Structure 1
Amino acid sequence: MPRLTSAEGERAIGRLEALDTPKAVDATFQCHISTIYRLLQRFVITGSIADAERIGRLRVTTPRQDRHIFRSHVAHPFTTAAETARTVIGTHQAPIFRQTASRRLRFRGLWNCRPAKGPVITVRHRQARLHWAQGHLNGNNVRWQNVLFSDESRVCIDHADGRVRVWRRSGYRYADNCVVENNAWGGPSLMLWGAIGHNQVLGPVIFQGLGPGPGNGVTAQRYMDQVLHPHVLPFFQAHGNWVFQHDNARPHTARATQDLLHRSGIHMMPWPALSP
């Protein structure tokens, strides 16, 4: 049955004060007679029909401990909530629960997420990136218009390359329609190469002859045979004042690749190690 509103409660008390019976009052408001008795008892004891204030369960951590939990995870974000909970003694003189630590962190805006993955960046790498950026900070538009930027990208054919999620019921983890099928060697994929510049586009080029296993990826020889000779060298023969950019992947930094570019008179843009 629905609860009585404040207005209905006041009307019910008025009828009771007018010597109506609780049974008659509950029939009017279509509620259980025990509701009328509790309403009358609350009015006699407190002089009001308002619900008593509820303080809820007492917190087991102090504000100072809440700040400690938050600051420790800001300083050490890979610490688990369970590890933090074991080090915090609550007001009940026992370690707090993991769920308590998690709630304190969420209240302050920290959420448990999967970390992004990236290469190990040392101080030397950071300095090299900074020096590169400072050296190219004042470049004018004409300078950037003569740069040919290139890169490779792998495209998976039969499955997503990243993490996927599935909505399923409990106990259906290995149901046929809830399992992502994959091959031991990674499945079929395409390796593409392309380059862009000011009003210029080269590719896309699909690498041929690739497959699973060592030595079947993009090698320096394949890079020269399928990209540099048929696409890059002819472009720079027609645009001699341009600069070529590619990252520090092994096929790009191989001695054979560097010798070919040097013999062809192609100017290279320096690229810091482990740069995106």
Structure 2
Amino acid sequence: MQQSICETTTRTTLRRMGYNSRRPHRVPLISTTNRKKRLQFARAHQNRTVEGWKNVAWSDESRFLLRHSDGRVRIWRKQDENMYPSCLVTTVQAGGGGVMVWGMFSWHTLGPLVPIGHRLNATAYLSIVSDHVHPFMTTMYPSSDGFFQQDNAACHKARIISNWFLLHDNEFTVLKWPPQSPDLNPIEHLWDVVEWELRALDVHPTNLHQLQDAILSIWANISKECFQHLVESMPRRIKAVLKAKGGQTQY
């Protein structure tokens, strides 16, 4: 005879076995090919010190939604199983009404944060590169020893962008970046800071103009200790990718 088990009994039994209800880490789904590329990148930079990472300027785009779901998915896992594949939730870029921004920073200073009023294409990105990346890199790294990081978004890899970088390769170097590697980019954690501060506001934005103003204000007030600490975490991030053999990490 088949017996049913109540939810309370199930929860109690799971806790006795060492499991607890937790939210799963959200990570990108990494292909086998890109795992290899991530591993190659980590091996190539495993001896790079914090001093070396200070010469890198990090960049990325992010979208902040006016209204969003809290994504309260929960799973049952043991304390040491947080990075098990069965305990992860893969992510995709969010949609909906919101504000898109592009930003950059280095160990030395926060860079510009640029609102993007439409979908970022190669022409719009070229304007960002020439108007914001170029002056930042030449000012921060006058000895031409700086590296500019960007991910592999289609607009970043367009021919007009590649040609522009070639024309300026005597001023700074574009860092060869592995695909599907937000965990290696410390600017992702600055986006988290902005998101946390937005949620903590006493008065929440009610329209996109207010949201943009709030994002710009939060970005301008991120502490130096915060973004420097993120750059200083790079050797640990590299070690984590090596340990995961190119797979997901806790970052």
TM-score, structure 2 length as denominator?
A: 0.53
Question: C-alpha deviations, 1:70-115, integer Å up to 9, x for none?
Answer: xxxxxxxxxxxxxxxxxxxxxxx53553635444223213245554
Among candidates 124, 131, 147, match of residue 222 of structure 1 = 124
Q: Which amino acid aligns with 2:46?
A: L
State the 1:163 CA deviation. 3.4
Structure 1 runs not aligned, ≥5 long: 1-92, 166-184, 211-216
Q: Which residue pairs with 2:136 in the alignment?
A: 235
Q: Which amino acid aligns with 2:34?
A: H
For residues 62 and 114 of structure 2, what CA distance do their matches in structure 1 show? Answer: 10
State the 1:232 CA deviation. 1.0
Q: Which residue pairs with 2:46 in the alignment?
A: 137
Q: Which residue pairs with 2:152 in the alignment?
A: 248
For residues 112 and 145 of structure 1, what CA distance do their matches in structure 2 show? Answer: 39
**Higher Cα Rg, which structure:** 1
Among candidates 59, 78, 88, match of residue 150 of structure 1 = 59
Identity %: 30
Corresponding position: 1:264 with 2:165: no
For residues 116 and 141 of structure 1, what CA distance do their matches in structure 2 show? Answer: 27
Q: Which residue pairs with 1:163 in the alignment?
A: 71
For residues 274 and 136 of structure 1, what CA distance do their matches in structure 2 show? Answer: 17
Corresponding position: 1:186 with 2:96: yes
Q: Which amino acid aligns with 2:168?
A: S
C-alpha RMSD over aligned residues: 2.7
In structure 2, relative to structure 1, the CA distance for the partners of 1:98 and 1:222 (3 Å cut) is farther
The SS at the match of 2:13 is helix
Q: Which residue pairs with 2:2 in the alignment?
A: 94
State the 1:149 CA deviation. 1.0
In structure 2, relative to structure 1, the CA distance for the partners of 1:98 and 1:113 (3 Å cut) is farther
Q: Which amino acid aligns with 2:162?
A: Q
For residues 2 and 99 of structure 2, what CA distance do their matches in structure 1 show? Answer: 57
Contact 2:23 2:72 in 1 (8 A): no
Among candidates 113, 138, 157, match of residue 204 of structure 1 = 113
Q: Which amino acid aligns with 1:256?
A: I
Please identify runs of 4+ aligned residues in structure 1 that moved more than 6 A.
Answer: none
In structure 2, relative to structure 1, the CA distance for the partners of 1:98 and 1:254 (3 Å cut) is farther
Question: C-alpha deviations, 1:27-63, integer Å up to 9, x for none?
Answer: xxxxxxxxxxxxxxxxxxxxxxxxxxxxxxxxxxxxx
Q: Which amino acid aligns with 2:132?
A: H
Q: Which residue pairs with 1:275 in the alignment?
A: 181
TM-score, structure 1 length as denominator?
A: 0.49
Q: Which residue pairs with 1:61 in the alignment?
A: none
In structure 2, relative to structure 1, the CA distance for the partners of 1:144 and 1:113 (3 Å cut) is closer
For residues 30 and 167 of structure 2, what CA distance do their matches in structure 1 show? Answer: 33
Question: C-alpha deviations, 1:210-269, integer Å up to 9, x for none?
Answer: 2xxxxxx111211112x1111112233443221100112222122322222122214111
| Number of residue pairs the alignment of both structures matches | 155
Q: Which amino acid aligns with 1:220?
A: A
State the 1:130 CA deviation. 2.4
Q: Which residue pairs with 2:235 in the alignment?
A: none
